[in-house]
Structures are given as C-alpha cells and as structure tokens.
Amino acid sequence: MIPANFTYHKATTLQEAIALSGELGEEAKYMSGGHSLLPMMKLRFATPEHIIDISKIQGLSYIKEDDDLLKIGGLTTQTEIEHNALLQEKYPIFGDAVWLTADPSVRNCGTIGGNIAHGDAANDQPALMLALRATIIAEGTDGKKEIPIDEFFHGFYMTALEQGDILTEIQIPKARKNSGGAYYKMERKVGDYATAGVAVHIELDDAGVCTEIGIGLTNVSAVPMRLERGEAFLRGKAVTDALIEEVAQMASEDCEPESDLRGSEAYKRSIVNTLTKRMLNKALERARQ
C-alpha cells in the first residue's frame, strides 16, 4: 500500500515547523515517529496534503528531573524510554508500559509525544499520563502553552492541541518517597492494542495512608479515562484488600467499553476489574519498598 499523494517538508527547528504549519494550514500534519500516522495514510484513513517531518528537530529528546518535575521531551522514542536508567530506577510504570507497546522496531521510531498527541484511547501512554497527573507542554503560533492532562483529551483522535501546536514536553510531578506506579494491559497477542489496560500511581504517607492516587484506563472509552470515583474513594484512606475490591468494582462499572474484535463489553469490564486490583497491589508494593 502506498499513501495518497502529499508533499513532504522537513523542519529542522521548532520555529521552522510552526511557521510551515501556519503557512500550509489545516491540510498539514506533523509527523514524528510516523508509526501511527503513516499506517493510517496507507489505508487512506488520513489523507493530509502536507507532511511536516519534525523528527529531525534537535533538543526535544531527553529525560531528566528538574526541580520538582520529571521532564520528558516530546521526541523521546519509546526505545529511549525503555533503556533509560532514571525511569528504570524511579518510575518503573514506564517500563511496564513500553515493554507492552508495539514491538522493538516500532519503538525505535515511535515517540512519547506522538503516542499522546495522536489522541487515541487505545494507546498506552495516555493512561499513564492520567495516573501520573502530567502537564502537557505545547508550542504553536500562539506561543507556549501548558495543558493539564485532564483538559488534554477531547474526543476520538481529538486533543487540546490546535493547528500548529507541537507537543514539546511532558511534565510529571517528581516521584516522592512512598510512591509507586504500575501498568498492565491485556492484549490478544504481543504488540496488539489493549483489550483493556490499567495504570495506577499511588502516594502514601508514613502511616501508609493514601495521600494521592491516579488511575487511568486504556481503550475502554472513546477518550482516555480517569477513574475519578475510585480515586476519590481511596484518597485519605489506609488501603486494604477490601477497599481494593471496591475500587476494582467501580472501575468495571464506570468504564465504557464496546464489544468488538477484542472481546465483548462484559469481558472487558471483567478484565478492567481484575487489572485494577492487580495494578493497585503492584503500585502499593512498589510504594512500600
């Protein structure tokens, strides 16, 4: 399959990319790793007239802690995330997710910025971003903007990014003492999109009481979903097996899966229940280490 005709443009700086997008207008799309967009173009699900290649822009690929924040550059590839020592040591939730995302060759191209900016609830990173309460930094014709993750996902393939905006950085509150996160997704086969997935990030005080919790769900709603009811329920409590059972029940009730090739609605609700339990337990175990 060959994509429909388009014109390729290479941007070497952020300013050049944004200017090109302003010039070319609505029919231009940015491409970073290209492993979501190009398959869609080959299938004619997407037929942009112009592609602006942002993969060669320097300085947007990094993982670092800076003051109270973990900062990840938008062009950081999934492979770079997989092999990063800081993430392996302090943010193991990323390793959980990247290991299950596509396959190693795809991860060599795919970027974290693209995974989020694509706005697909089937992608893995959005659930992590919800659980970790990320802030998305974007730059566009109106300058720089900070978008809280809860305001980022608008609908199927729709996000708060406007024409010309490039997702440049992800900011996440730095890992605190007694905090832990975990992610898992059920997949039909290696490299598949999630049948359902659950990301959990939990913070405890010295007495073991949950002070903050984030729960994000993958591919069980049109928009990447936060389990608000479960978070509010656990916050301020010492987490017990009985409470975990209740939150898992809430997750299976509140998610909005549709029956499709990956399973029936009932099956997906059941998976969400089980995975919520497992990920809460795994995150707790890591928080207590």
Partner 1 sequence: MAKHTVTMTINGESVTAEVDSRLLLVHFIRENLDMTGTHIGCDTSSCGACTILIDGKSVKSCTYLTVRADGANITTIEGIAADGTNHPLQQAFHDQHGLHCGFCTPGMIMRSIDMLENNPNPTEEEIRWGISGNLCRCTGYNNIVKSIQQAAKEMQQEKEPTV
- State the number of CA atoms in the 13 A half-sphere of 196 facing the CB: 28
- Count of CB atoms situated within 10 Å of the CB of 49: 14
Residue 209 as a binder of partner 1 (CB under 8 A): the answer is no
Contact call for residues 98 and 88 (beta carbons, < 8 A)? no
CA 284 to chain centre: 21
Nearer Cβ to partner 1 (57/255): 57
Question: Is there binding between residue 190 and partner 1 (CB under 8 A)?
Answer: yes
Q: What would the x/- binding string for partner 1 be over residues 10 to 29, using CB under 8 A?
A: x-------------------
Residue among 12, 15, 26, 39 that touches partner 1 (CB under 8 A) = 39
Only one of the segments 4-12, 194-202, 208-216, 241-249 lies at the binding site for partner 1 (rule: CB under 8 A); that segment is: 4-12
By beta-carbon proximity to partner 1, the closer residue of 19 and 38 is 38
Q: What is the smallest separation between the CB atom of 273 and partner 1, expressed in angstroms?
A: 27
Interface residue with partner 1, options 65, 90, 99, 278 (CB under 8 A): 99
In angstroms, give the least distance from the CB of 243 to partner 1: 34
- Write out the two tokens for 19: 């200017």
Among 22, 25, 155, 191, binds partner 1 (CB under 8 A): 191
Chain position carrying tokens 């990447």:
224
Measure the CA–CA gap between 141 and 148, rounded to whole angstroms.
Answer: 19
Which long-range contacts (C-beta less than 8 Å, at least 24 apart) are formed by 148-156?
Answer: 150/226, 152/116, 153/119, 153/121, 153/126, 153/223, 153/224, 154/119, 154/223, 155/119, 155/222, 155/223, 156/119, 156/120, 156/121, 156/222, 156/223
Q: Does 51 bind partner 1 (CB under 8 A)?
A: yes
Work out which of 29, 35, 282, 286 binds partner 1, going by CB under 8 A: 35
CA distance 202 to 179: 6
Q: Which is nearer to partner 1, 2 or 242 (CB)?
A: 2
CB nearer to partner 1: pick between 105 and 141: 105
Task: Tell me if 105 contacts partner 1 by CB under 8 A.
Answer: yes
3-class secondary structure, 277: helix
Do the strands 196-204 and 179-186 form a parallel or antiparallel pair, or are they unpaired?
antiparallel
Residue 153 CB, nearest approach to partner 1 (Å): 24
| Nearest CB to partner 1, comparing residues 35 and 282 | 35
Q: ∠ CA 236-272-245 to the nearest 5 degrees?
A: 45
- The two three-digit tokens of residue 256, written as one number: 């909005």
Residue span 116-155 as binding mask against partner 1, x where in contact by CB under 8 A, dash where not:
----------------------------------------
CB of 124 to partner 1, least distance (A): 15
Q: Which helix (H) or strand (E) holds 28?
A: strand 28-31
* Contact residues for partner 1, defined by CB under 8 A: 1-8, 10, 34-35, 38-39, 42, 51, 53, 55, 79, 83, 99, 102-106, 108-109, 190-191
